[in-house]
C-alpha cells in the first residue's frame, strides 16, 4: 500500500492536493488459461446438477491491474473504459474490504488495466481482468482476500468466472457459482501442448451459443469423464488425460460445431498426439503430446507443419508443468514463424498483499481487444 504513489492525481481537474496526498495504490495480477480439459454438467456433493469445468493453465500471459483509491472523491473510473466487469469487481472489492477493515475510506477509485490476453478465444480474458482488479484493490487496502471470496466477487461481477484466482491445481470448478466441486490432485499429468487457434483466430460470441444438453445420459457421460480424469491425475497418465480432453471436446461440438475439428483430430492421430483440447467457449485449441515419447521434437515439428497445411494457425508450445524437466522448446522451420516456444512460469505479480499463491481451494469452497502475439 503506497500513499500518494508517484503523485498520482496531481494536476487533474477536481482533484485537490489533499486528496492526492491521501491517495493509496495497489497492484494485482492474474494469468489466463488455454481453454478446458473438461467441461460439462456434473453432480455436486448433494447430487445436484452443476455446470463445471477443468481448465488448462497457461502461464506468462495475463492482466496487470493498478488501483488508486482517493478518499476525497466519489468518482470511479477504469482505463480502458470498456472494462466494465473489472470496474464492477473493483467496487465490490472495495465494499468487501471496508467490511473487513472499517478504517478503509469509501471514496473514488481509479483502475487501470494492461495485459496481453486475447479477446474472445476462450482464454479467460475477462476473468483475468476481474481477478487482477480484485487483487489490486485488496492490495491497496492492505488485505489479501481468500480465494473463495475472490471467486464470489468474480461471479457477481461477470456471472461466470474461470478459476484463475486459485493455484493452478486441476480443479472441477462451478464457474457460475464460484465454488470448487472437487480437487482432482496436485498437478495435471505431464504433457507438451502445441497450441493453435481455430476459425482463423476470430473471437467467439459465447452469449450467442445455444445451451448444451444436460439430460441424464449427458450427466452420466460427464461423470464418467470426471472419474477418468481423477485417475489420470492420480497416476500421472498423459494418454488418459488426452482421452478425457478429446472426448470432452467431441461432446462440445454439439454446440460449437467447429469446422476444423475433424482436421484437428486427424492431425493428432497422424503425428502421435495423445489427444486434443479446446476452449469450450472460444476458438483456442491444443494438441497434447507425451513428453516421454520418442522423437518428441520431430513429432512437434510434424504437428506444426500439418496444422499449417490444414490452414490452422499455430500459436505456441507450452507444457502442463512449466517448471518440470521437459520444457521442450521448439526451433521452428522458417516457414512456420507463428510458432513460438512458451515455457516460462508465472511471475509473482499479485501485489504486496499477494506474494504467495492462494491454496484455499476445498470441495466446499463456494472483453477486450488484444493481440495474439504468436499469430
CA atoms within 13 A of residue 78's CA, in its CB half-sphere: 23
Residues 27, 136: contact at Cβ < 8 Å?
yes
Q: How high is the pLDDT of residue 121?
A: 86
First to last CA, the chain: 38
> What's the CA angle centered on 86, arms 85 and 88, to 5 degrees?
65
Q: How high is the pLDDT of residue 339?
A: 35
Q: How high is the pLDDT of residue 23?
A: 85
> What's the CA angle centered on 124, arms 120 and 125, to 5 degrees?
65
Residue the block writes with cell 516460462: 344
Per-residue pLDDT tens digits for 70-115:
988 889 999 999 999 999 999 999 999 999 998 877 789 999 999 9
Residue the block writes with cell 476470430: 202
In 80-157, DSSP assigns E strands to: 108-115
Per-residue pLDDT tens digits for 131-170:
999 999 999 999 999 999 999 999 999 999 999 999 788 9
Task: Take residue 338 and report the three cell numbers written for it.
Answer: 507463428
Q: Indicate the SS3 state at residue 40.
A: strand
Pairing of strands 179-183, 171-174: antiparallel
Task: Take residue 30 and report the three cell numbers written for it.
Answer: 492474474
Among residues 175, 123, 51, which one has the least CA distance to residue 367? 123
> What is the rounded CA–CA span in Å between residue 252 and residue 198?
14
Task: Take residue 26 and report the three cell numbers written for it.
Answer: 495497489
Beta bridge partners of 195: 286, 316
Task: Take residue 67 and report the three cell numbers written for it.
Answer: 488501483
**283 — alpha (psi -120 to 50), left (phi > 0) or beta?**
alpha
> What is the rounded CA–CA span in Å between residue 169 and residue 163?
10
DSSP code, position 283: S
Distances (CA, A) of 89 to 136, 137, 156: 11, 9, 8
Residues 166, 95: contact at Cβ < 8 Å?
no
Residues 166, 147: contact at Cβ < 8 Å?
yes
> What is the rounded CA–CA span in Å between residue 31 and residue 123?
10
Among residues 346, 339, 290, 293, which one has the least CA distance to residue 312? 339
| Residues written for the chain | 375
Tens of pLDDT along the chain (375 residues)?
A: 444 333 333 334 344 444 455 889 999 999 999 999 999 999 999 999 999 999 999 988 999 999 999 988 889 999 999 999 999 999 999 999 999 998 877 789 999 999 999 887 899 999 999 999 999 999 999 999 999 999 999 999 999 999 999 978 899 999 999 999 999 999 999 999 999 999 876 666 655 666 666 789 999 999 999 999 999 999 999 999 999 999 999 999 988 888 999 999 999 999 999 999 999 888 899 999 999 999 999 999 999 999 999 999 999 999 998 654 333 333 333 333 333 333 333 334 455 554 433 334 444 433 333 333 333
Residues 283, 197: contact at Cβ < 8 Å?
yes
Sign of the CA dihedral with 198 first, then 202, 203, and 209 last: negative
Amino acid at each position: 500500500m503506497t500513499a500518494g504513489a508517484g503523485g498520482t492525481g496531481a494536476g487533474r481537474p477536481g482533484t485537490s492536493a489533499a486528496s492526492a496526498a491521501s491517495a493509496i495504490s495497489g497492484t494485482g495480477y492474474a494469468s489466463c488459461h488455454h481453454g478446458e480439459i473438461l467441461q460439462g454438467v456434473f453432480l455436486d456433493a448433494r447430487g445436484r446438477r452443476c455446470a463445471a469445468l477443468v481448465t488448462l493453465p497457461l502461464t506468462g500471459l495475463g492482466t496487470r491491474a493498478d488501483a488508486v483509491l482517493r478518499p476525497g472523491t466519489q468518482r470511479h473510473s477504469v482505463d480502458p473504459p470498456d472494462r466494465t466487469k473489472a470496474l464492477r469487481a473493483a467496487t465490490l472489492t472495495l465494499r468487501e474490504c471496508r467490511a473487513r477493515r472499517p478504517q478503509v475510506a469509501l471514496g473514488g477509485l481509479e483502475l487501470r488495466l494492461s495485459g496481453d490476453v486475447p479477446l474472445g478465444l476462450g482464454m479467460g480474458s475477462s476473468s483475468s481482468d476481474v481477478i487482477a482488479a480484485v487483487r489490486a484493490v485488496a492490495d491497496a487496502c492492505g488485505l489479501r482476500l481468500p480465494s473463495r471470496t475472490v471467486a464470489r466477487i468474480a461471479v457477481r461481477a461477470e456471472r461466470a468466472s474461470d478459476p484463475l484466482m486459485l493455484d493452478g491445481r486441476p480443479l472441477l470448478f462451478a464457474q457460475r457459482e464460484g465454488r470448487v466441486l472437487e480437487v482432482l490432485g496436485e498437478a495435471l499429468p505431464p504433457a507438451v501442448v502445441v497450441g493453435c487457434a481455430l476459425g482463423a483466430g476470430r473471437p467467439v460470441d459465447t452469449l450467442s451459443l445455444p445451451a448444451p444438453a444436460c439430460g441424464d445420459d449427458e450427466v452420466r457421460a460427464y461423470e464418467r469423464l470426471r472419474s477418468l480424469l481423477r485417475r489420470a491425475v492420480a497416476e500421472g497418465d498423459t494418454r488418459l488425460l488426452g482421452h478425457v480432453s478429446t472426448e470432452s471436446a467431441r461432446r462440445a461440438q454439439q454446440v460449437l460445431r467447429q469446422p476444423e475439428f475433424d482436421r484437428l483430430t486427424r492431425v493428432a492421430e497422424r503425428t502421435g498426439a495423445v489427444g486434443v483440447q479446446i476452449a469450450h467457449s472460444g476458438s483456442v485449441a491444443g494438441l497434447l503430446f507425451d513428453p516421454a515419447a520418442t522423437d518428441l521434437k520431430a513429432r512437434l515439428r510434424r504437428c506444426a507443419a500439418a496444422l499449417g497445411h490444414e490452414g490452422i494457425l499455430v500459436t505456441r508450445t507450452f507444457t502442463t508443468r512449466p517448471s518440470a524437466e521437459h520444457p521442450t522448446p521448439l526451433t521452428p522451420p522458417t516457414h512456420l514463424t507463428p510458432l513460438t516456444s512458451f515455457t516460462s512460469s508465472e511471475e509473482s505479480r499479485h501485489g504486496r498483499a499477494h506474494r504467495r499463491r492462494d491454496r484455499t481451494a476445498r470441495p466446499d469452497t463456494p472483453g477486450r481487444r488484444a493481440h495474439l502475439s504468436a499469430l
